[in-house]
Amino acid sequence: MRSIYLEAQLLAAENRLFPDDAEFAMPALNVGANRTASASATIPAQLLHAISWIESKINQVHINVPYGHVGAALISPDCGYGIMQVTSTIDNDGGLPSRYEALAISHFAYNIAAGAGILAEKWNEDYFPVVGESDPGYVESWYFALWAYNGWAWINHPGNPAYDPQRPPYDCDDDESGYWDYPYQERVLGCVLNPPVVNGQRLWKPHPVVLPDIASLTAPGGALDPDLFRQRLDQVRERMSLDLPGSAVPARLTIGGPESSREALLGMPELHGIPSEVELSSSELARGGTQLTIANEGSGLLAWRVVSTPSWLDVGIQAGVALGSGYDFSNMPQQSIIPISASAGGVPEGSHRGRIVLEFNYPDGSSETESVAISLDKRGAAYYEAGRPQS
């Protein structure tokens, strides 16, 4: 799957994953000395590769789940999700997930698009310093945006005394190159310069990187003098911006036709249908409930989320994907299972009726909803019947 994820990053770098999706399209980059928005500007794909390796070793699910198998989304202790460890745009408010949250957490391509969008937003932020004339074609130009992607904090300042000022470039493929001996942006750029090797193969081609001269720039009066970082916010860009190194080399990667790669990558998922009736007996209710099954009879990943549910009903999984054909998973196609239960002690005697509303999202930007009517007789059984698509 890593090759699929890397291909998705190539598309995301050129805003070709979801260009017409308002929530997942990459914003136009502000470029040039005047920082003018350019819809044609792109992110060097090597940066997305490197970020994903640093963040997750390019894993959408927990690293203990073997490649080719399905598992729960990778979640970090600070609530970063998936390949790109998307954090700042996820609310984590305890309610049902929004469309953005459900897709970014459960579907690898949307997660990658979300990460690219966050990096682009950091690039466009007027507060952060810039390198040269803001030419996004150079990986060196992204130094401060990379810093901000992880956090505009002292821990990532290159002059932090926790880091050796004479440190060599970070080597992404060398276990002896101490991960915590480098600020975040230097780890990412080190992975661009020295990509990881997996099963004897580099995951992407190395690209030359000219890193800032830390010793001189962090000296008193230098652009990266730690004292400047502590100055007023309105002085940061003016005083910390850097020149683009004269020996920097543009990093440009292009891919094939405008639609072929995207369609092959994302597939054409198709909902098989919600079961027309699911009966829940009193004994099943006591044992924990029943389940709804979502099947994808097309290709790729069918993304779904729960939009609404009765207050007396517990939906164990609120968003996910159903696997169709087309990917090299060990056990595809694979259905998505939604555990459903109702607390017998929390539901008064008598009959109760409600609905679960599910939303299904497709790579072409379309969506449909399916309504599942639920009746619960506290003295007897519950039954479920599927409603028709509403859109």
User: In this predicted structure, what is the pLDDT of residue 389?
Assistant: 46
* 165 burial level (CB within 10 Å; 0-12, 13-18, 19+): middle
- The answer to pTM > 0.85 is yes
In the sheet that holds 336-342, the strands lie side by side as 290-294, 336-342, 313-315
Pairing outcome for strands 36-38 and 197-198: unpaired
Under 8 Å CB-to-CB from 253, ≥6 apart: which residues? 10, 13, 44, 45, 46
Contact indicator for 281, 67 with CB cutoff of 8 Å:
no
Tens digit of pLDDT for each residue in 160-215? 999 999 999 999 877 666 889 999 999 999 999 999 999 999 999 999 999 999 99
pLDDT at 380 (0 to 100): 52
Q: Which domains does the chain have, with CATH numbers?
A: 2-240 (no CATH), 267-386 (2.60.40.10)
pLDDT the model gives residue 321: 92
What are the C-alpha distances in Å from 16 to residues 224, 311, 360? Answer: 35, 40, 21
At 187, the amino acid letter reads: R
Tens digit of pLDDT at every position of the chain (391 positions): 788 999 999 999 999 999 999 999 999 999 998 899 888 889 999 999 999 999 999 999 887 877 666 678 887 767 777 899 887 666 656 689 999 999 999 999 999 999 999 999 999 998 899 999 999 999 999 999 999 999 999 999 999 999 999 999 999 877 666 889 999 999 999 999 999 999 999 999 999 999 999 999 999 989 999 988 877 667 788 889 999 999 999 997 655 555 558 988 999 999 998 876 666 666 666 677 788 899 999 999 999 999 998 888 888 889 999 988 888 766 666 788 888 887 655 667 777 778 899 999 999 999 999 988 887 776 655 555 555 544 3
Give the number of other Cβ atoms within 10 Å of residue 121's Cβ: 17
Tell me, what's the pLDDT at 391?
A: 39
